[in-house]
Amino acid sequence: MRLPKFEYLRAGSVEEACAMLVDESTTALPMAGGSDLLVAMKQGIATPERLVDLGGIPGLDAIVEREGTLRIGALATLRKIADSPLVQQQWPLLAQAARRAASPQIRNLATIGGNVCLSRRCWYYNQSRFWRQSRPPCLRMGGAQCYVVAGSDKCYALHCADTVPPLLALEAKVKLVSASGERIVALDDLYSDLGPDAIHLKPGEILTEVLVPQPPSSGFGVYLRYSDRPSISFPLAGVAAIVKRGRGGEECEDARVAVGAVCPKPLRLRRGEEVLRGQKLNRAVISEFVETAAREVKPIPYIYHLPEHKRRVVRNLLLEAVEKAWQETKSC
Protein backbone atom coordinates (compact mmCIF):
# COMPACT_ATOMS: atom_id res chain seq x y z
CA MET A 1 0.00 0.00 0.00
CA ARG A 2 1.22 3.46 -0.87
CA LEU A 3 0.41 6.87 0.45
CA PRO A 4 -1.83 8.97 -1.80
CA LYS A 5 -0.68 12.35 -3.01
CA PHE A 6 -1.06 15.21 -0.53
CA GLU A 7 0.35 18.64 0.26
CA TYR A 8 2.80 18.61 3.16
CA LEU A 9 3.22 21.68 5.37
CA ARG A 10 5.36 21.93 8.51
CA ALA A 11 4.11 24.45 11.05
CA GLY A 12 6.51 26.49 13.16
CA SER A 13 3.93 27.54 15.75
CA VAL A 14 0.49 26.55 16.99
CA GLU A 15 -1.00 29.71 15.45
CA GLU A 16 0.55 28.89 12.08
CA ALA A 17 -0.76 25.32 12.25
CA CYS A 18 -4.30 26.52 13.02
CA ALA A 19 -4.20 28.87 10.03
CA MET A 20 -3.01 26.06 7.75
CA LEU A 21 -5.86 23.81 8.89
CA VAL A 22 -8.75 26.23 8.28
CA ASP A 23 -8.03 26.84 4.59
CA GLU A 24 -11.45 26.26 2.97
CA SER A 25 -9.90 25.41 -0.40
CA THR A 26 -8.58 22.05 0.82
CA THR A 27 -9.19 19.31 3.36
CA ALA A 28 -6.47 19.25 5.99
CA LEU A 29 -5.50 17.18 9.02
CA PRO A 30 -2.84 17.76 11.68
CA MET A 31 -0.10 15.16 12.08
CA ALA A 32 1.90 14.46 15.23
CA GLY A 33 3.75 11.11 15.23
CA GLY A 34 1.74 9.79 12.29
CA SER A 35 1.76 6.19 13.56
CA ASP A 36 -2.01 5.86 13.08
CA LEU A 37 -2.81 8.56 10.51
CA LEU A 38 -0.31 7.44 7.87
CA VAL A 39 -1.58 3.85 8.08
CA ALA A 40 -5.14 5.11 7.65
CA MET A 41 -4.08 7.08 4.59
CA LYS A 42 -2.45 4.01 3.06
CA GLN A 43 -5.67 2.08 3.66
CA GLY A 44 -7.71 4.81 1.96
CA ILE A 45 -9.56 5.54 5.21
CA ALA A 46 -8.23 9.05 5.77
CA THR A 47 -7.95 11.12 2.59
CA PRO A 48 -6.68 14.61 3.48
CA GLU A 49 -5.42 16.79 0.67
CA ARG A 50 -3.08 18.50 3.13
CA LEU A 51 -1.09 17.31 6.14
CA VAL A 52 0.04 19.89 8.67
CA ASP A 53 3.05 18.51 10.56
CA LEU A 54 3.15 19.75 14.16
CA GLY A 55 6.62 18.31 14.79
CA GLY A 56 8.39 21.62 14.22
CA ILE A 57 6.55 23.50 16.98
CA PRO A 58 9.00 24.23 19.82
CA GLY A 59 8.12 23.04 23.31
CA LEU A 60 5.08 21.01 22.32
CA ASP A 61 6.70 17.83 23.66
CA ALA A 62 7.40 19.17 27.17
CA ILE A 63 6.49 17.28 30.35
CA VAL A 64 6.45 19.62 33.35
CA GLU A 65 4.71 20.13 36.66
CA ARG A 66 3.22 23.52 37.48
CA GLU A 67 1.29 24.24 40.67
CA GLY A 68 0.56 20.56 41.24
CA THR A 69 -0.65 19.89 37.68
CA LEU A 70 1.18 17.69 35.22
CA ARG A 71 1.29 19.42 31.85
CA ILE A 72 2.11 17.15 28.92
CA GLY A 73 2.65 18.67 25.50
CA ALA A 74 0.70 16.99 22.71
CA LEU A 75 3.90 15.89 20.95
CA ALA A 76 5.33 14.03 23.94
CA THR A 77 5.77 10.43 22.81
CA LEU A 78 4.40 7.50 24.78
CA ARG A 79 7.96 6.35 25.41
CA LYS A 80 8.94 9.75 26.81
CA ILE A 81 5.94 9.67 29.16
CA ALA A 82 6.65 6.10 30.26
CA ASP A 83 10.33 6.90 30.93
CA SER A 84 9.75 10.26 32.62
CA PRO A 85 10.89 10.16 36.30
CA LEU A 86 8.30 12.85 37.09
CA VAL A 87 5.44 10.77 35.67
CA GLN A 88 6.72 7.54 37.20
CA GLN A 89 6.98 9.04 40.67
CA GLN A 90 3.82 11.15 40.87
CA TRP A 91 1.52 9.81 38.14
CA PRO A 92 2.56 6.13 37.91
CA LEU A 93 -0.82 5.04 36.55
CA LEU A 94 -0.22 7.05 33.38
CA ALA A 95 3.32 5.69 33.08
CA GLN A 96 1.90 2.14 33.30
CA ALA A 97 -0.51 2.75 30.43
CA ALA A 98 2.06 4.47 28.21
CA ARG A 99 4.50 1.60 28.77
CA ARG A 100 1.94 -1.05 27.78
CA ALA A 101 0.63 0.59 24.61
CA ALA A 102 1.57 -1.04 21.31
CA SER A 103 5.21 -1.95 20.62
CA PRO A 104 8.49 -0.15 21.47
CA GLN A 105 8.82 1.04 17.88
CA ILE A 106 5.34 2.55 17.90
CA ARG A 107 5.80 4.10 21.35
CA ASN A 108 8.86 5.90 19.98
CA LEU A 109 6.62 7.66 17.44
CA ALA A 110 3.10 7.75 18.88
CA THR A 111 2.27 10.89 20.86
CA ILE A 112 -0.09 11.55 23.74
CA GLY A 113 -2.03 14.00 21.56
CA GLY A 114 -2.47 11.39 18.86
CA ASN A 115 -3.46 8.73 21.37
CA VAL A 116 -6.09 10.94 23.01
CA CYS A 117 -7.45 11.94 19.57
CA LEU A 118 -7.20 8.44 18.12
CA SER A 119 -9.79 7.67 15.46
CA ARG A 120 -12.38 5.04 16.25
CA ARG A 121 -11.80 1.57 14.92
CA CYS A 122 -14.08 -1.18 13.64
CA TRP A 123 -13.47 -4.60 12.14
CA TYR A 124 -14.94 -3.50 8.77
CA TYR A 125 -13.73 0.07 8.38
CA ASN A 126 -10.10 -0.41 9.44
CA GLN A 127 -9.17 -2.71 6.58
CA SER A 128 -7.55 -2.22 3.20
CA ARG A 129 -9.41 -0.46 0.40
CA PHE A 130 -9.58 -3.74 -1.52
CA TRP A 131 -11.10 -5.57 1.48
CA ARG A 132 -13.79 -2.91 1.88
CA GLN A 133 -14.67 -3.13 -1.80
CA SER A 134 -15.94 -6.69 -1.26
CA ARG A 135 -19.27 -5.33 0.04
CA PRO A 136 -21.31 -2.11 -0.11
CA PRO A 137 -19.89 0.84 1.87
CA CYS A 138 -20.75 1.24 5.54
CA LEU A 139 -22.19 4.37 7.15
CA ARG A 140 -18.75 5.78 7.78
CA MET A 141 -17.91 5.45 4.10
CA GLY A 142 -21.14 7.06 2.93
CA GLY A 143 -23.28 3.91 2.84
CA ALA A 144 -26.62 3.13 4.45
CA GLN A 145 -25.78 0.59 7.14
CA CYS A 146 -23.39 -0.34 9.92
CA TYR A 147 -21.78 -3.77 9.68
CA VAL A 148 -20.76 -3.90 13.36
CA VAL A 149 -24.34 -3.69 14.61
CA ALA A 150 -26.37 -5.15 11.77
CA GLY A 151 -29.17 -2.93 10.49
CA SER A 152 -28.21 0.07 12.63
CA ASP A 153 -28.49 3.56 11.19
CA LYS A 154 -25.75 4.75 13.56
CA CYS A 155 -21.99 4.17 13.33
CA TYR A 156 -20.63 1.80 15.97
CA ALA A 157 -16.87 1.83 16.33
CA LEU A 158 -14.46 1.54 19.24
CA HIS A 159 -12.17 4.06 20.89
CA CYS A 160 -9.11 1.97 21.71
CA ALA A 161 -6.52 4.36 23.17
CA ASP A 162 -4.53 2.96 26.09
CA THR A 163 -3.85 6.27 27.82
CA VAL A 164 -7.44 7.51 27.93
CA PRO A 165 -8.90 5.29 30.72
CA PRO A 166 -6.06 6.27 33.12
CA LEU A 167 -6.47 9.93 32.16
CA LEU A 168 -10.22 9.70 32.82
CA ALA A 169 -9.57 8.15 36.23
CA LEU A 170 -7.08 10.95 36.93
CA GLU A 171 -9.75 13.52 35.91
CA ALA A 172 -7.51 15.04 33.24
CA LYS A 173 -8.35 18.00 31.04
CA VAL A 174 -7.10 19.02 27.61
CA LYS A 175 -6.15 22.37 26.17
CA LEU A 176 -7.55 23.05 22.71
CA VAL A 177 -6.31 25.93 20.56
CA SER A 178 -7.74 27.41 17.36
CA ALA A 179 -7.45 30.65 15.42
CA SER A 180 -10.29 32.08 17.53
CA GLY A 181 -8.66 31.33 20.91
CA GLU A 182 -8.21 28.49 23.36
CA ARG A 183 -10.38 26.48 25.73
CA ILE A 184 -9.88 23.93 28.48
CA VAL A 185 -12.15 20.88 28.28
CA ALA A 186 -12.59 17.97 30.68
CA LEU A 187 -11.39 14.84 28.90
CA ASP A 188 -14.71 13.13 29.63
CA ASP A 189 -16.48 15.83 27.58
CA LEU A 190 -14.16 15.51 24.59
CA TYR A 191 -15.64 12.27 23.25
CA SER A 192 -18.90 11.68 21.42
CA ASP A 193 -21.14 8.64 21.96
CA LEU A 194 -21.89 7.44 18.44
CA GLY A 195 -21.05 8.39 14.89
CA PRO A 196 -17.88 8.55 12.81
CA ASP A 197 -16.33 11.48 14.73
CA ALA A 198 -14.71 10.30 17.95
CA ILE A 199 -14.05 13.71 19.46
CA HIS A 200 -15.61 17.16 19.64
CA LEU A 201 -13.10 19.42 17.90
CA LYS A 202 -13.95 22.63 16.09
CA PRO A 203 -12.58 23.19 12.56
CA GLY A 204 -8.90 24.08 12.77
CA GLU A 205 -8.69 23.26 16.47
CA ILE A 206 -5.61 21.49 17.83
CA LEU A 207 -5.06 19.67 21.10
CA THR A 208 -1.86 21.20 22.50
CA GLU A 209 -1.67 19.98 26.12
CA VAL A 210 -2.97 17.34 28.48
CA LEU A 211 -3.46 18.63 32.03
CA VAL A 212 -3.44 16.06 34.81
CA PRO A 213 -4.11 17.04 38.46
CA GLN A 214 -2.39 15.33 41.35
CA PRO A 215 -3.84 11.86 42.04
CA PRO A 216 -5.42 11.24 45.46
CA SER A 217 -2.84 11.02 48.24
CA SER A 218 -2.62 7.59 49.88
CA GLY A 219 -4.17 6.14 46.75
CA PHE A 220 -2.89 3.65 44.20
CA GLY A 221 -3.73 3.19 40.52
CA VAL A 222 -3.67 0.14 38.29
CA TYR A 223 -4.07 -0.15 34.52
CA LEU A 224 -4.85 -3.53 32.97
CA ARG A 225 -5.44 -4.35 29.31
CA TYR A 226 -6.43 -7.39 27.30
CA SER A 227 -5.51 -7.91 23.66
CA ASP A 228 -4.85 -10.68 21.19
CA ARG A 229 -1.19 -9.71 20.79
CA PRO A 230 -0.09 -7.66 23.82
CA SER A 231 3.08 -6.35 22.21
CA ILE A 232 1.43 -4.72 19.20
CA SER A 233 -2.38 -4.90 19.10
CA PHE A 234 -4.87 -2.30 20.23
CA PRO A 235 -6.57 -3.35 23.48
CA LEU A 236 -9.80 -5.29 23.26
CA ALA A 237 -10.52 -3.93 26.74
CA GLY A 238 -8.63 -1.64 29.10
CA VAL A 239 -9.44 -0.81 32.72
CA ALA A 240 -7.91 1.88 34.95
CA ALA A 241 -8.69 1.95 38.67
CA ILE A 242 -7.61 4.31 41.45
CA VAL A 243 -8.47 3.42 45.05
CA LYS A 244 -7.78 5.49 48.17
CA ARG A 245 -8.00 4.25 51.74
CA GLY A 246 -9.59 6.38 54.43
CA ARG A 247 -7.73 7.66 57.48
CA GLY A 248 -8.47 4.54 59.48
CA GLY A 249 -7.12 2.37 56.72
CA GLU A 250 -10.11 0.03 56.67
CA GLU A 251 -12.54 1.79 54.35
CA CYS A 252 -12.37 3.05 50.79
CA GLU A 253 -12.49 6.84 50.83
CA ASP A 254 -12.37 7.37 47.08
CA ALA A 255 -12.51 5.24 43.93
CA ARG A 256 -12.23 6.14 40.27
CA VAL A 257 -12.62 3.55 37.54
CA ALA A 258 -12.64 3.95 33.76
CA VAL A 259 -12.85 1.51 30.88
CA GLY A 260 -11.88 1.77 27.23
CA ALA A 261 -11.96 -0.20 23.96
CA VAL A 262 -15.35 -1.80 24.60
CA CYS A 263 -17.72 1.04 23.65
CA PRO A 264 -17.69 3.92 21.16
CA LYS A 265 -16.79 6.25 24.02
CA PRO A 266 -14.35 5.59 26.87
CA LEU A 267 -16.36 5.47 30.09
CA ARG A 268 -15.94 6.59 33.67
CA LEU A 269 -17.90 4.03 35.70
CA ARG A 270 -19.43 6.38 38.26
CA ARG A 271 -22.22 4.08 39.50
CA GLY A 272 -19.74 1.36 40.20
CA GLU A 273 -17.47 3.81 42.02
CA GLU A 274 -20.29 4.67 44.44
CA VAL A 275 -20.52 1.03 45.48
CA LEU A 276 -16.90 1.15 46.68
CA ARG A 277 -16.83 4.47 48.51
CA GLY A 278 -17.17 4.21 52.28
CA GLN A 279 -16.96 0.41 52.26
CA LYS A 280 -14.48 -2.15 53.50
CA LEU A 281 -13.37 -3.71 50.24
CA ASN A 282 -13.84 -7.42 50.80
CA ARG A 283 -14.65 -9.85 48.00
CA ALA A 284 -18.43 -9.39 48.40
CA VAL A 285 -18.25 -5.59 48.02
CA ILE A 286 -15.88 -5.80 45.07
CA SER A 287 -18.13 -8.40 43.40
CA GLU A 288 -21.10 -6.05 43.82
CA PHE A 289 -19.01 -3.27 42.30
CA VAL A 290 -18.11 -5.47 39.33
CA GLU A 291 -21.76 -6.29 38.59
CA THR A 292 -22.85 -2.66 38.97
CA ALA A 293 -20.00 -1.35 36.84
CA ALA A 294 -20.49 -4.03 34.18
CA ARG A 295 -24.09 -2.87 33.69
CA GLU A 296 -22.75 0.55 32.68
CA VAL A 297 -20.71 -1.04 29.90
CA LYS A 298 -22.52 -2.08 26.73
CA PRO A 299 -19.83 -3.79 24.64
CA ILE A 300 -20.00 -3.80 20.88
CA PRO A 301 -18.51 -6.66 18.84
CA TYR A 302 -15.08 -6.70 17.29
CA ILE A 303 -13.68 -9.30 14.92
CA TYR A 304 -13.61 -12.72 16.67
CA HIS A 305 -14.86 -11.14 19.93
CA LEU A 306 -18.59 -11.12 20.64
CA PRO A 307 -20.15 -8.81 23.27
CA GLU A 308 -20.61 -11.74 25.67
CA HIS A 309 -16.88 -12.44 25.58
CA LYS A 310 -16.04 -8.78 26.13
CA ARG A 311 -18.39 -8.61 29.13
CA ARG A 312 -16.50 -11.49 30.76
CA VAL A 313 -13.17 -9.83 29.99
CA VAL A 314 -14.31 -6.50 31.44
CA ARG A 315 -15.62 -8.17 34.61
CA ASN A 316 -12.32 -9.98 35.13
CA LEU A 317 -10.28 -6.83 34.54
CA LEU A 318 -12.46 -4.78 36.90
CA LEU A 319 -12.14 -7.38 39.63
CA GLU A 320 -8.39 -7.73 39.26
CA ALA A 321 -7.71 -3.98 38.97
CA VAL A 322 -9.67 -2.98 42.08
CA GLU A 323 -8.36 -5.86 44.18
CA LYS A 324 -4.77 -5.11 43.20
CA ALA A 325 -5.15 -1.35 43.75
CA TRP A 326 -6.75 -1.93 47.17
CA GLN A 327 -3.97 -4.22 48.28
CA GLU A 328 -1.28 -1.83 47.07
CA THR A 329 -2.78 1.08 49.05
CA LYS A 330 -1.47 -0.62 52.22
CA SER A 331 2.02 0.53 51.28
CA CYS A 332 1.02 4.09 50.32
Q: In CATH, what number is assigned to the domain containing residue 233?
A: 3.30.390.50
Q: What is the pLDDT of residue 269?
A: 98
Residue 209 lies in a domain: no
Q: Whole-model pTM?
A: 0.94
Model confidence pLDDT, tens digit, residues 78-120: 999 999 999 999 999 999 999 999 999 999 999 999 999 998 8
Model confidence pLDDT, tens digit, residues 3-52: 999 999 999 999 999 999 998 888 999 999 999 999 999 998 899 999 99
**CA neighbours closer than 13 Å in the CB half-sphere of residue 72:** 32
Residue 5 lies in a domain: yes
Residue 172 lies in a domain: no
- Print the domain residue range for 40: 1-56
Model confidence pLDDT, tens digit, residues 220-273: 999 999 998 877 789 999 999 999 999 888 899 999 999 999 988 999 999 999
Residue 316 lies in a domain: yes
Model confidence pLDDT, tens digit, residues 126-174: 888 888 888 888 888 888 888 888 778 888 888 899 999 999 999 999 9
Q: Cβ atoms within 10 A of the Cβ of 167, count? A: 29
Share of the chain above pLDDT 90, in %: 71
What does the alpha-carbon distance between residue 297 and residue 314 come to, in Å, rounded to a whole number?
A: 9
What does the alpha-carbon distance between residue 211 and residue 81 come to, in Å, rounded to a whole number?
A: 13
Residue 147 lies in a domain: no
What does the alpha-carbon distance between residue 220 and residue 143 come to, in Å, rounded to a whole number?
A: 46
Q: Cβ atoms within 10 A of the Cβ of 67, count? A: 7
Q: What is the pLDDT of residue 332?
A: 65
Cβ atoms of 246 and 279 closer than 8 Å? no
**Where residue 195 falls among pLDDT bands split at 50, 70, 90?**
low
Taking the CA atoms of 35, 187, 198 and 268 in sequence, report the sign of the dihedral they define.
Answer: positive
Domain count across the chain: 2
Residue where a domain stops, chosen among 11, 34, 56: 56
20's CB contacts (< 8 A; 6+ apart) are 9, 11, 28, 50, 52
Residue where a domain stops, chosen among 56, 74, 103: 56
Q: In CATH, what number is assigned to the domain containing residue 7?
A: 3.30.43.10
Residue 188 lies in a domain: no
Residue 157 lies in a domain: no
Residue where a domain stops, chosen among 36, 56, 76: 56
Residue 160 lies in a domain: no
